[in-house]
Amino acid sequence: MVQSVQSVVIVGGGTAGWLTAGIIAARHHSRMKAGFSVTLIESPDIKIIGVGEGTWPTLRSSLEKIGVSETELFRQSDAAFKQGAKFARWTTGADDDAYYHPLMLPQGFTQINLVPHWLQDGHGRSFCDSVCPQGRLCDDGLAPKTITTPEYKAVANYAYHLDAGKFAPFLQKHCTTMLGVRHVLADVLTVNQHESGDIVSLTTRQAGEIAGDLFIDCSGFGALLLGKTLGVGFKDCSDVLFCDTALAVQLPYETPDAPMASQTLSTAQSAGWIWDIGLPTRRGIGYVYSSRHTSEEAAHQTLMQYIGPTSQELRVRKIPIRPGYRETFWKNNCVAVGLAAGFLEPLESSAIVLVELSAKLISEQMPANREVMDIVAARFNDVTHYRWGRIIDFLKLHYVLTQRTDTAFWRDNLDPQSIPERLKHLLHLWKYQSPWFFDEFDRLEEVFPAASYQYVLYGMGFRTEVGPMDNADSEPMAYRLMQENVTMTRQMCAQLPKNRDLIRKIHDYGMQPI
């Protein structure tokens, strides 16, 4: 009789482990009475790395599906609204050099490509301001909804900023109390394998032997199962993305009612960039840099100059970044998710969305038995390799469009040898036609759709040649949509509350459950 997959064992907690556990347990909750189980093992001594404070809008649907209260997310995870990213000094390095990558699609995006029309006559407005209201909302410090907007619903599309150190325990409580996930606090001593290479069980110091049918490696950079035990190699991407170190600090606000940004701020520096994320109680700030282009001492000085004078005593954490990913993500009966699968600089908050997408794919394609697991694994590896490649392309796009030549870091990023071939081809194509649905953005769940490429390209001054007659047929619709955007922007700016004011109301009164 063929052995069915009934027991899923996850090694490692943190955001990756608990989000994966929640997504799988929620999807297969009805099977638990028949013996299906999800067990999460984490060491009682290892602290989570907790770098990822930025997310993508996909997290809203992930949390809604597993039954999390959005009100409680805000109350217990020090969460705030994120409406996109503002990139400063990436193009020229000048004080007024900035653009937005918002989370709203351009007006009429499924019907018409507004780029050619904006290029011909943008009335002096940035691309973002011409096609969506979100840049203005962020400039004004506004929230993406009101207190009467139900949980997970939006007026303007949004994601979250959150405290990763609080988010993981929040998920843990939900998964164990509401979804039946078994939580084991124990150190893994040995990984026991079948002669085929499959993992049979884990021997732990505190809980003895734990067997399973499918093992998910969420053990962080160490990749205990997939890397150390199964010997899957690592594909280094430092030849494309140079940043390999981060210095991070937590900076409390000077006053409790200080303005709180509604976007991630990413400010380019001489050898990398600084993130600045506003949570309700503090800001998370960090310098992501290339150790080949600056020293730790100089990087520390750059970070302190950005923060400016402060009476706060700051503890700076150094976080090594090894840019790249596993050569295979699912081998035998083991699949890696989160840092065990790989890591790239957090320029576009791609870490948590990759966890979500991987967990969703595992839960939806959960192999019925070991007989078909290799077929499912091959599919998973194909899709996940594609996603990592597209994220690397998109991150590199931010660097190759720069006009900065003031330091070796920026000059080296423009070296054609460091640019992926696919991105080179697309950049050549985009000189003559702007990004659109058919430019290889053909997967069902693209991490970054064509609109994201548009916001970065035209935010950084890229120009696409547009013929005088190219837009003739669609001109009336384009004009109408851009006028509607002006009206919508005015209305939203008048109606939406300040970011901090809405979060205070959520803490006091809560949002309406759906």
- Give the Cα separation of 37 and 68 in Å (integer): 20
CB 133 within 8 A of CB 485: yes
CB 370 within 8 A of CB 34: no
Report in angstroms the alpha-carbon separations of 89 from 265, 425, 434. Answer: 11, 26, 24
DSSP-derived pairing of the beta strands 7-11 and 214-217: parallel
Long-range contacts of 303-310 (CB under 8 A, 24+ apart): 303/247, 303/249, 303/274, 306/267, 306/269, 306/274, 306/276, 307/249, 307/251, 310/251
User: How many CB atoms neighbour CB 50 within 10 A?
Assistant: 18
Q: Which two tokens stand for residue 144?
A: 């993406």
Single-letter amino acid, residue 497:
P
Contacts of 238 (CB under 8 A, 6+ apart): 244, 322, 323, 324
Sheet with 272-278: strands ordered across: 98-102, 84-88, 264-269, 272-278, 282-289, 245-252, 317-320
Give SS3 for 509: helix
CB 51 within 8 A of CB 351: yes
- Give the Cα separation of 110 and 114 in Å (integer): 11
User: How many CB atoms neighbour CB 30 within 10 A?
Assistant: 8
435 Rama sector, left if φ>0, alpha if ψ -120 to 50, beta otherwise: beta
Best CA proximity match to 214, nearest among 23, 384, 39: 39
CB 262 within 8 A of CB 82: yes
Active site (annotated) includes residue 228? no
Give SS3 for 418: helix
Q: Which two tokens stand for residue 128?
A: 């973002």
Buried b (16+ CB within 10 A) or exposed e, 345-383: bbbbbbbbbbbbbbbbbbbeebbeebeebeebbeebbeb
Give SS3 for 188: strand
Sheet with 324-326: strands ordered across: 234-236, 324-326, 342-343
User: How many CB atoms neighbour CB 429 within 10 A?
Assistant: 14
Given 33, 82, 86, 431, the catalytic residue: 82
Q: What is the set of active-site residues?
A: 82
